[in-house]
């Protein structure tokens, strides 16, 4: 049973890394991350007025005002942990040097519950994909070596082995905790 769950969950995380072409949203539901809650700061960042968190508008590997340049980079969990250090020790981003991986609760806060493929606000996070995104939260179990991640195909989250299922996107955040 566990093997089949891992297979299905993995397939969701390895959903196409291409930019979403046709997001499906249920217009009868209220948005969980409405445009009014997410402020575009005009510098490649988005501030969530509800949580106080500031997000990089683009996942790592993408750039541009609409994240139209480049492709989403994928990282092992260990490399994902080092990405904020790489950004912060260099020129930083948008004048800040305190970027980090979000914890699972923070990452879940940007899931748009009324949408799928991808389950994110595409006005504020343009050209986002349906792929999996690492959190900085380890999953504590008897097995150890697992961490939480979210697939933006449908906003589902799960714990994954850092060594086996190990290539997902990174979206950095600052503030909070």
Mean pLDDT of 119-147: 87
SS3 at position 87: helix
The answer, yes or no, to whether the previous bond of 161 is cis (omega within 30 of 0) is no
Average pLDDT, the chain: 87
CA angle 125, 128, 130 (to 5 degrees): 135
Residue 166 predicted with pLDDT over 80: no
Structural domain count, the chain? 1
Instruction: Measure Cα distances from 54 to 41, 80, 132, 171 in Å.
Output: 9, 18, 20, 11
- Identify the CA nearest to 47 among candidates 129, 98, 110: 110
70 phi and psi angles, rounded to 5 deg: 80, -175
Give pTM, 2 decimals: 0.86
Give me the residues paired with residue 24 across strands.
116
Residues 41-95 pLDDT 10s: 999 999 999 999 999 999 999 999 999 999 999 999 889 999 999 999 989 999 9
Residue 1 predicted with pLDDT over 80: no
Residues 95-105 pLDDT 10s: 999 999 999 99
- Domain containing 121 equals 2-174
pLDDT of residue 16: 43
């Amino acid at each position: 049973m566990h093997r089949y769950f891992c297979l299905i969950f993995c397939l969701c995380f390895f959903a196409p890394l291409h930019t979403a072409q046709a997001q499906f949203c249920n217009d009868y539901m209220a948005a969980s991350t409405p445009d009014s809650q997410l402020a575009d700061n005009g510098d490649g960042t988005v501030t969530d007025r509800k949580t106080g968190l500031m997000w990089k508008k683009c996942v790592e590997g993408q750039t541009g005002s609409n994240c139209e340049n480049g492709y989403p980079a994928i990282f092992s969990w260990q490399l994902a942990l080092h990405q904020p250090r790489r950004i912060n020790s260099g020129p930083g981003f948008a004048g800040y040097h305190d970027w980090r991986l979000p914890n699972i609760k923070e990452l879940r806060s940007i899931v748009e519950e009324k949408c799928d493929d991808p389950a994110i606000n595409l006005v504020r996070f343009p050209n986002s994909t349906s792929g999996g995104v690492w959190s900085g939260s380890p999953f504590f179990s008897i097995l150890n070596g697992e961490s939480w991640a979210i697939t933006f195909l449908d906003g589902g989250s799960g714990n994954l082995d850092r060594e086996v299922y190990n290539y997902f996107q990174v979206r950095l955040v600052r503030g909070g905790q």
